[in-house]
Amino acid sequence: MKHPPRSKERPSTEAREKFYLTYPPHLLTEPLIYHVGHKFKVVTNIRGASISNELGLVALELEGARSEIERAITWLRSQGIQVEPIEKNVIE
């Protein structure tokens, strides 16, 4: 599926933020990032991941309106995912 080219200039309400998501064992197989991309008006970009039988750690970038990013993060936390912001420029 082709996406239209994006303008390099984004409105001030647009943001790009990075987070670490920590998954407990019972959520490791749930497609939560897929759901975030469909439930909220955000673009998801997995920047890194480490998954074992006991724990999942995902570095996730979200792009969209700040309000949508906040809603997506609130929803992930309500599902049982620990969400922590990544300091800027850690993953480029």
pLDDT in tens, 29-83: 999 999 999 999 999 999 999 999 999 999 999 999 999 999 999 999 999 999 9
How many other β-carbons are positioned within 10 Å of the β-carbon of residue 66?
A: 13
Q: Domain 14-85 - what CATH class?
A: alpha beta
- Do residues 72 and 39 lie in contact, with contact meaning Cβ atoms separated by under 8 Å? yes
Angle of the 32-39 helix axis to the 66-79 helix axis, nearest 10: 140
Residue 38, helix vs strand vs coil: helix
Confidence (pTM): 0.79
Spatial distance between the Cα atoms of 61 and 25, rounded to a whole number of angstroms: 22
In the block, tokens 């599926």 appear at: 1
Q: Match 């001030």 to its residue by tokens.
A: 12
Q: Is the pLDDT of residue 13 over 80?
A: no
